[in-house]
Amino acid sequence: GEDVEQSLFLSVREGDSSVINCTYTDSSSTYLYWYKQEPGAGLQLLTYIFSNMDMKQDQRLTVLLNKKDKHLSLRIADTQTGDSAIYFCAEGWDTGNQFYFGTGTSLTVIP
């Protein structure tokens, strides 16, 4: 499969910004996604970006895409304790067959 890499852990203080990074290898993907997984639950889509975009902002979330370096990041502004979760980046294609997920980054927000 494709390689989608993330660092495993991130800790931030409440109120600070969090930046979660992801690198991928296949530049043919149509979409790049960020999913959130809370303890004991399935994954829920946070946001996605088309591969021909550089940035997308959605309230506290900012997604940056550097296609040249195949690097995707998720910035969470004013991080709250409720943001503590595992965050997965993923690649997808508009042919609707497979997604490739990263290893997940466990975000811990310290009060």
Interface residue list for other proteins (CB under 8 A): 1, 4, 6, 8, 30-31, 33, 35, 40-45, 48, 88, 92-104
9 by Cβ neighbours in 10 Å (0-12 / 13-18 / 19+) ranks as exposed
Which is nearer to other proteins, 68 or 97 (by Cβ)? Answer: 97
CB of 36 to other proteins, least distance (A): 11
Q: Which is nearer to other proteins, 23 or 99 (CB)?
A: 99
Q: Smaller CB distance to other proteins: residue 19 or 41?
A: 41
CA 87 to chain centre: 6
Give the C-alpha separation, 93 to 55, whole Å. 19
CA 52 to chain centre: 17
